[in-house]
Amino acid sequence: MGAREYAMEKDYPAELVLAETQSKNTKENFLYSKRVAEAHSEGKPYCCIYATSDYHLLRAGLYAGRAGFSCDGVGGRTAGYYLPNALLREYIAYVVMNKKRYLTIAAVVFALSLTLWGGLALLAWFARML
């Protein structure tokens, strides 16, 4: 069952439950959903809620913010047997999503370690000279 069908089953008014069906991933989903929401609201302010899996809420929220949404997420339960795989997948996707940040941090740490290592080697050389 999709999120739209679930909302309808919970008695949300059909005219308030919008669904985007063209996306292939979470990023596209929020970009396309933004267009759908803005077209439906006709330029008026609106609030929104997105529904996803509980393990997917963090990354979905980040994509929602990047798409320009100010909305809340609601997570559905995930079967226990699937959770370890899902969390690992989300972790990898989160790292890939922020790869520029993590590569920058890794480069700075690497440069600092080389500097520190070089400084220690230089101190050892001076100590031998004395």
Q: Which helix (H) or strand (E) holds 76?
A: strand 72-76
Q: 47 and 83: one domain?
A: yes
- Tell me what pLDDT residue 118 has: 79
Extract the runs of DSSP E, i.e. beta strands, from the chain.
Answer: 49-53, 72-76
Q: Is pLDDT larger for residue 126 or for residue 16?
A: 16
For residues 54 and 114, membership in a common domain is answered with: no
Same domain, 91 and 103: no
Confidence at 62, pLDDT banded by 50, 70, 90: very high
- Asked if residue 56 and residue 78 are part of one domain, the reply reads yes
Distance CA 85, CA 3 (A): 22
d(CA 1, CA 14): 16
Same domain, 90 and 123: no
Tokens 């999503």, residue located: 97
Residues 92 and 111 in one domain: no
Asked whether residue 93 falls in the same domain as residue 108, the answer is no
Indicate the pTM of the whole model: 0.73
Residues 9 and 71 placed together within one structural domain of the fold? yes
Whether residues 77 and 90 share a domain: the answer is: yes
Residues 28, 80 share a domain: yes
Question: How confident is the model over 22-45, as a mean pLDDT?
Answer: 91
Regarding whether 17 and 65 lie in a shared domain, the answer is: yes
Are 17 and 4 within 8 A, CB to CB?
yes
User: 89 is in which domain, residue-wise?
Assistant: 3-97
